[in-house]
Every structure is written in structure tokens, then in C-alpha cells.
Structure 1
Amino acid sequence: MTSSARRTVYLDHAATTPMLPAAIEAMTSHLGRTGNASSLHGSGRAARRTVEESRETIAAALNAQPSEVVFTSGGTEADNLALKGLWWARLNEDPRRRRILLSGIEHHAVLDSAIWLEQHEGAEIEWLPVDELGRVQLRDLRAAIEQDPETVSFVSLMMANNEVGTLQPVREVAALAHEHAIPVHTDAVQAVGQIPVDFADLGVDAMTITAHKIGGPYGIGALVVRKETKLVPIVHGGGQERDVRSGTLDTPATAGFAVALEHAIRSQPEAGARLIGLRDELVKGVLATVPGALVSGDPVGRLPGNAHLSFSGCEGDSLLLLLDARGIEVSTGSACNSGVAEPSHVLLAMGYDDLRARGSLRFTLGRTSTRADVEAVLENIGPVVERAMSAGLQNVGRNA
């Protein structure tokens, strides 16, 4: 088979997932229509109707109120709005509230927002430890809060880790924090569509979601915020979205987002069971094929589509590129910063050494994944690991 005819095996759904055909249809049906949803004339009112109907659909799918859905440009903006908006609102009420309680495995949109507040606004970050499976322990949160509850600004804890797939006890964390009237934010970007997500039942004060992880368009997400939760805006302008997030709304994108989310929530039970079957087959096959391969994250309390594995004696980037050359697209457990591969902050926080952190791959399955995709990985992973190990040994010899 020629390279041009080779089928691509896409196993990086945690990064982004293919658009649902129905979402494409919903979005494109509005692209040719003119109308600013803030305008009062007929075209504007038609656009506003689409936006509000989309908002209602999204709210219903998540068991939230429509007024609690604040549209943003995506998960990163929603995380920034949650952390910075909560920080300034809480600080305005009580200048003692300078402590942010945060796990060390959060997405960079959360981590970097908190670090910015630390560097520019005098926030005090307290890192909640995680165990070897990547889970935050309630006893550690309780100890941090009870040290001085009046000085805590907020808690932020993701629902599911984007690298190793471990699920967090968000509902219990919210209940504990609320004993001291401390707000809680959760980044649910990875969780929505893979596990049940019920905003009202979770009890959190703010929740980040985005469209492109669930078969929707790029460039749109939302922060779901309880009506009584105060946020200081970080984007100013026309006062759209409850005066919390200004900017002209992307009407076609809201329509695509709503269709994708409704489908993801409706199909989640069946899709989750199917992904667990494929994931377990992949993990079992890799462990049987590659001596020394190890699984990371909680073996039970994890996302259905996530398989995170480390390979001794290999560089994750080498494994990724070798698989990519064979038409298999995955992700590494490391972040590339300015062209320099660095060990994953998630794996280091879990106590992994530098070598294991660097030699990891993340396989994430989604709606379009098939058994043929799993079989392609199992057919190629052995030779790829052997070649990556050989390349690693050659580099060691040259550097000796």
C-alpha cells in the first residue's frame, strides 16, 4: 500500500476529536446568514434565537440553568475566566483571601493562570499532592483548608486528567470546600461525553467545557457558572454573557456546539462501554507485546478512552514519530516547550522518575475509533519500541 493510500489511525482524541456530521451541518447552515446576536433588528433577533436555543440545549444536557452557561472562545479562556474572575471577586470581598488550592496535575490553562496570579497579583498557590495514580486525597484538601479557611480564595480540581485519565473526587471536594463557603472550579473538558457530568449534582461553582473535544467546532467553549457565584470579567466590551464575557457571539459555532454536546451526552453510556472494551484490548495487547511496558493512572477510576503507557529505555517523542511514520497518531506524556522536550508535569507530580516520564505515550480513543485501530497499534508497537530502544542506545554510545 502506498503512503498516499494508507489509512490514518487517529488515537489522539484527548487533543481534539473529529467533528460530528450533524454538528457540521448545524454550523454550516448558519454560516451564510447575517446577524449579530446583539442587534435588535430581525436578523439580529434570529441570531439571538439560535444562540439562546443552543444555550438551552447545552444547559439541559448538563443539568444546568440556561443563564448559567457563559460562552467563551474555548476551554483555555473559560479556565482563565474562572480562576482570575474568582480570584478578584473573592479578594474584593475579603483581602485575606489570597490562597489558591490547586493540584499539580491540572491542565496548563489552569496552572498558568494560577501562576500568573501568583506572579502579578500576589496569590499564594498551595499545591495539593496526588498519589501514584494521580488522585487528590480529601484528607490533604481538608488539612489545607482547615489551616486557615478564611484565607482561601478558591479550589480548582479537574474532573479527569488529560494525560493519564484518572478521575478526581470533584463532588466530595466541592462538598468539603462548601463547609467553609469556599468556591470550587472544575475543568471538565476531558470528562464531558466520556463519563456522566451533572453540573447541579456535582455542586461545583464553575465548570469548564469546550466543543472540539466532543465532536463540535474549534473556537467555542463555555464556563458554566452558578447564578450566585461572583466573577470579575477579564474581557471588557459590550457586556455580553451576563456582563461576564464581552464579545460578539459566534452564532454558527454555538449551534454546532449544542448539537455535539447533546449527542455526546445522549450516547455516553453506550459509547463509554464500547471505548472501555477497545481500551482494555489495546492495553492488554501492548503489555503482552512489549516487555516492561507499564500502565499509568487509576486502573479503574479513569476515562473510558484513555490508555497511558510508559516504555522503558525509550523516548516518547521517538515513539510518537515512529508510529506517525506508520500512520498511527498518538500523543506523548511530555510537553514541548520552545522545541525542548520536557518531562510531563503530571507524571512528575505522580512521583515518576524522569526516564519513565519521558518514555510515555497517551493513546486516546473516541467516537471514530475501531477495533482495526487497536489492531494496527498492536501490529506496530513491538517493532517501534525495538527501534526506539536501539536509537536510544546509539545516542547513549555517542554521548559516552
Structure 2
Amino acid sequence: MTTRLRYAVMFMVSLVQQENQGVARPKRASVIADKQSLSEGYLERVVMYLKNKGLVKSRKGPGGGYSLGMPPERITLDQLLYSVGDKVKMVRCQGDDGGCVSAAGEKCNSHYLWEGIERYMMHYLSNTTLLDVFNNTLKEFGGSDRHRIYADNNSTAEICPKVRHKIGNALLFGNFYNPSAVYSLGQKSRKLLEDVRRLVIEVLDAKGYDVIFTSSGTEANNLVFNRCGHRHIISAIEHPSVINSATNPHFIPVDSNGVISLTALESMLKDLGGEGALVSVMLANNEIGVIQPVREVVSIARKYGAVVHTDAVQACGKIPLSVLDLGADFVTISSHKIGGMPGAGALLYNSNRVGIVPMLHGGMQENGLRAGTENVHAIYSMAVALENLSCRLKKMADVLSARDLIESRIREASATSIIFGSGAVRLPNTTCVSMPGVSSETQLIGFDSRGIAVGIGSACSSGKRDKSHVLSAIGAEEEHIKSAIRISLGPDVDIEQASRIADCWCGIYSSFISLN
């Protein structure tokens, strides 16, 4: 941080003090500079930044000066930081985008220390208002939540720091206009949407595909099935948004690890007649993390004239994703699974092979294929998350090490525990494990009381505890299904956190053994 932020904070707090004393007239910068022993010339330059962002108002002439542009409880310190063109950054290290030790991207031993301090400082600044500073009611961050571990990233990923920072700034000063409006502000929003559309195609290697923005991955999946006839062939472990959208679906069986049978798929296509049929196989499962052979599915489907949809919501951001390499006709993703905000999803489709039938009717948004004003901020957050995708993927090797440590400790503690899908290729962050004799709910409460958030089955079924259709499909026994939890790690998990998760699992199991 530079002197600009220090000057900005001292100046703004002086304005808060002026208002708090009930003084209605503006305050001159020269008076503040003199009282705070600041350079008047430099302060005036800083104030221009603040004025341009609407944080202060000015009045000329006798009795003129500066006053707050908005209530002090609405102005956070990170807003001041961005307004004056400043930022928190590591001095030596180059952040996620580069290495500190070599051009090859190798990071120094202290890199993640500085990176963590950088994130902590931004969290502190974004949660501290001018009113907090004036009243000396500064928050003690990292209190009860400081040591909490979030291990339910497959339900919704933590919003990545870059998204938080950019969206916070965009909400204050950015682009929030109706993209369908013909005036220039609306067209500015329209340009943003089209820029994001191009970014989706570029980052996901989807040249030749069209992109429709939706409110979620669930809506995107529904939109696919809305256009595709009544011959639906889907895997037995699909997300509920696929299962419940399909018409009288034929289920492709899976083996005990959750991998689909390609032989069964081909047999179904032969028997049903593939021409015009829709095959839907998710790229990676949300509960057990198993990755499916989608390229092979596409190859088989092509032989029989069928089209292919893959739900890539869980895979995106955890494994490399090339839409062209997969070859599927439809691919769906979701913002909040990759570190963006909830409220945005995308359907990528090969318009040279397939079309879309609108499900929502109204305006002509998304080329008439998805009515309703686009959620510009959520879509923008998805763009920021996609820009950060390569950095996220680089962290997956460390995530895999953390997951393997957890699973190793669990196996040591209980020879009868079952890690579902462990015989197949899985997402590096996902462990679905049963604790013999201990219900999922009991485990969840035990983890939560120790400051760790884990999941039970599909997040979309929360509040309605049905038996997992995924675990049933792989042939898991009833008692194992009832004692299963899902641990899904985030990209910034470290070995200390992984050890705590393992300690917690082992502690709950040990308590159960002692009681019995």
C-alpha cells in the first residue's frame, strides 16, 4: 500500500468527524492537511481520485470545500484503496500468475505466507467502514471463524478473492444497466456480456460453439432437455437437474466405482435407435468425484446419430476442460462452482449440429433463446473466475496431496470405512466416505462443532434427506449410504487443514468405538 491510501483514510475520517459534530458546511482540504500534518498539494491530488469515484462532493466559492458523497457506514476501506488506484500486493512475489524463484513458475518457500497476509489484509479492509474507524469499533477478524475450515466446495465454492475485490468495486462504480437498453449505458452492459461470452469460448477452448447465459447450471441442463425429443439416455448417477428433466429416461448403468458402462450405452443406442436421441453423461460426479469417459461416449453416440450433453459443472476448475476435445454437443457450467457468484450459468452448444428451443418466454434476451434480463454482475463474476481458472488448476496438485492425506488417515483409523469411487479416476478435491455405524447427520454435527463444514450428498437436496441415488447406483449397502459424508476441498487448502479434517474424522469415529 502507498501513501495515497493513508492520506485518503485520514482525509475521509476528518469529513466523518465534521458531520458527526453536526457541522453542515464542507471542509477545506487545506484545513485537514494542516491539522493532520499532510502535504496539501498531495492531498488535493488524492481527493480528486475520491471525487471522481463519488466518495466525496465538492463545493466552490466562499464556504466551499469537501463533504462525504455517501454515508460513512457504506464506505469501506477497500473502496478507498481502489478509488485512489492503490492495491495490496506482495513486493517480491508475483502472486498466483507467476513464480518468485524462476521464470518456470517456481515459487519461493515464503510465497504462500505473503499471499495469505495479502488475502487477510484485503478481507480486513473490505470489512472495515469509515464509521468503524471513526468510532474505533474495529473488528477482530479471525475470531470464531478464523480457524473454521470450509470443506463443502462441491455444493458451492468459496468466492475467490479476485472476484470479491472486482465485484465489490463493480457494485459501487461499475456497470449495472439493462443490456437490452438502446442508450449508451445499456450498450456498455451489452458489450460486457459479449466480452464475457468470448472469454467463455476462449478459456474453455470452445471455438465454433455458441454460449447462452442462464441463472445456474440447473437451468442450463433443463434448457438442453427442453429441445431434445423424448429418447433420453442418461447415466444412473446424473445430477437431479438432469434426471428430473429427462423424459422416461433410459439409465446407463455404472460399476462399483461409478464409471458408466460403454458397452451398455452402445447396446441401448442399437436397441432404441440413436438418430435424434440425447445422451447425457456428466464429466465428473458431484458426490463421489468420479470422472467419466465423455470422449468415448461422444464417439459411440456419433455412430448412431445421437447428440451428447455433458454436465461439466463439477469438473470445471478442478480438471483441465477443453470443449473441443470432449466433442459434446452441449456443455454446461456454473459460476458458483468455480469461485464466482451464484446466479449465473452457461450453456455452450454446437450450433452447427444442434439447436435450442426456449424454455422461458418473454423478451428477446440471449438471441431469443432465454428470456429475462441477464444478471450482469453474476455473469461478470463468472468471467473473473474463468480468468483465474489456470491459477486454480495449478493448485490442484496440492489439493490432491491434501485429499490423499485425509484418505490415508481414514484408512488407518478404520479398516471398514469405505471411500466410494476410490478405484476410479476422481476429482482431486473430492472424498465421499462412510463411517461404519455413525449416521451422516451425527458426523456433520460433529464436524461442525469442531469448526469444519462438510457435506451430505447433493447440495440441491439439502433440507430433503433422501437416500443418495448415486451411492445406490454403485451398489453401496444401505448402512454405508446412511453413514456417508462428502469432503470437498477448496483450492487453497493446506496440509494443516487436511490434518485437522482427518483428526476430526478419526476423533468422531474413536468416540463411537468407545461408546460401543
Three-state SS of the structure 1 residue aligned to 2:162 is helix
Judge conservation of contact 2:275–2:305 (CA < 8 Å) in 1.
Answer: no
Instruction: Report the CA distance between 1:371 and its aligned residue.
Output: 1.3
1:95-110 matches, within 5 Å, as 98-110=230-242
Is the counterpart of residue 11 in structure 1 residue 151 in structure 2? Answer: yes
Normalising by the residue count of structure 2, what TM-score does the alignment of the two structures yield? 0.68
1:110-259 matches, within 5 Å, as 110-114=242-246, 118=247, 124-150=248-274, 153-228=277-352, 229-259=354-384
Equivalent position of 2:76 in the other structure: none
Moved more, 54-63 or 365-374: 365-374
Moved over 6 A (4+): 334-338
Three-state SS of the structure 2 residue aligned to 1:361 is strand
Moved more, 215-224 or 60-69: 60-69
AA aligned opposite 2:370 = R
Three-state SS of the structure 2 residue aligned to 1:69 is strand
Is the counterpart of residue 37 in structure 1 residue 169 in structure 2? Answer: no
Judge conservation of contact 1:296–1:308 (CA < 8 Å) in 2.
Answer: yes
Judge conservation of contact 2:333–2:345 (CA < 8 Å) in 1.
Answer: yes
1:322-352 Cα distance to aligned partner (Å, 9 max, x none): 1111111111247896966332110000011
Instruction: Report the CA distance between 1:67 and its aligned residue.
Output: 6.0
Instruction: Report the CA distance between 1:300 and its aligned residue.
Output: 4.5
CA distance in 1, matches of 2:361, 2:460: 32
The 3 A distance-change label for structure 1 pair 348 and 69 is same
Equivalent position of 2:443 in the other structure: 319
Moved more, 204-213 or 149-158: 149-158
- Residue 285 of structure 1, aligned match among 396, 406, 409: 409
AA aligned opposite 1:167 = I
The 3 A distance-change label for structure 1 pair 338 and 367 is closer
- Residue 385 of structure 2, aligned match among 253, 260, 271: 260
1:114-142 Cα distance to aligned partner (Å, 9 max, x none): 2xxx3xxxxx3111110000010110100
1:14-25 matches, within 5 Å, as 14-25=154-165
The 3 A distance-change label for structure 1 pair 24 and 335 is closer
CA distance in 2, matches of 1:67, 1:131: 33
Equivalent position of 1:64 in the other structure: 206
CA distance in 2, matches of 1:127, 1:241: 32
- Residue 299 of structure 1, aligned match among 411, 419, 423: 423
Equivalent position of 1:95 in the other structure: none
Three-state SS of the structure 1 residue aligned to 2:357 is coil
AA aligned opposite 2:363 = G
Gaps of 5+ in 2: 1-141
CA distance in 1, matches of 2:313, 2:513: 34
Is the counterpart of residue 348 in structure 1 residue 348 in structure 2? Answer: no
CA distance in 1, matches of 2:358, 2:145: 50
CA distance in 2, matches of 1:384, 1:222: 40
Three-state SS of the structure 2 residue aligned to 1:212 is helix
Moved more, 184-193 or 172-181: 172-181
The 3 A distance-change label for structure 1 pair 293 and 245 is same
Structure 1 vs Structure 2: percent identity of aligned residues?
A: 34
CA distance in 2, matches of 1:227, 1:138: 26
Instruction: Report the CA distance between 1:49 and its aligned residue.
Output: 1.2
- Residue 309 of structure 1, aligned match among 417, 433, 449: 433
Q: How many residues align?
A: 372
Is the counterpart of residue 276 in structure 1 residue 400 in structure 2? Answer: yes
CA distance in 2, matches of 1:334, 1:36: 34
Instruction: Report the CA distance between 1:389 and its aligned residue.
Output: 6.0
1:200-244 Cα distance to aligned partner (Å, 9 max, x none): 111101111001111101110101111121121101111211321
CA distance in 1, matches of 2:463, 2:165: 38
Three-state SS of the structure 2 residue aligned to 1:195 is coil
Instruction: Report the CA distance between 1:249 and its aligned residue.
Output: 1.2
Instruction: Report the CA distance between 1:259 and its aligned residue.
Output: 1.2
The 3 A distance-change label for structure 1 pair 353 and 34 is closer
Three-state SS of the structure 1 residue aligned to 2:348 is strand
Equivalent position of 1:28 in the other structure: 168
The 3 A distance-change label for structure 1 pair 113 and 176 is same
AA aligned opposite 2:365 = Q
AA aligned opposite 2:225 = L
CA distance in 2, matches of 1:78, 1:210: 9
Instruction: Report the CA distance between 1:182 and its aligned residue.
Output: 0.8
CA distance in 2, matches of 1:4, 1:311: 28
Judge conservation of contact 1:132–1:297 (CA < 8 Å) in 2.
Answer: yes
AA aligned opposite 2:239 = H
CA distance in 1, matches of 2:480, 2:458: 10
Instruction: Report the CA distance between 1:85 and its aligned residue.
Output: 2.4
CA distance in 2, matches of 1:11, 1:336: 16
Judge conservation of contact 1:177–1:183 (CA < 8 Å) in 2.
Answer: yes
Gaps of 5+ in 1: 88-97, 119-123, 394-400
CA distance in 2, matches of 1:202, 1:145: 19
Judge conservation of contact 2:392–2:491 (CA < 8 Å) in 1.
Answer: no
- Residue 329 of structure 1, aligned match among 453, 456, 470: 453
Normalising by the residue count of structure 1, what TM-score does the alignment of the two structures yield? 0.87
CA distance in 2, matches of 1:336, 1:167: 20
Instruction: Report the CA distance between 1:30 and its aligned residue.
Output: 3.0
CA distance in 1, matches of 2:324, 2:209: 13
CA distance in 2, matches of 1:5, 1:250: 30
Moved more, 157-166 or 285-294: 285-294
Three-state SS of the structure 1 residue aligned to 2:325 is helix
CA distance in 2, matches of 1:209, 1:372: 31
- Residue 54 of structure 1, aligned match among 170, 191, 196: 196
Higher relative contact order (CA 8 A, sep 6+): 1
Instruction: Report the CA distance between 1:275 and its aligned residue.
Output: 1.2
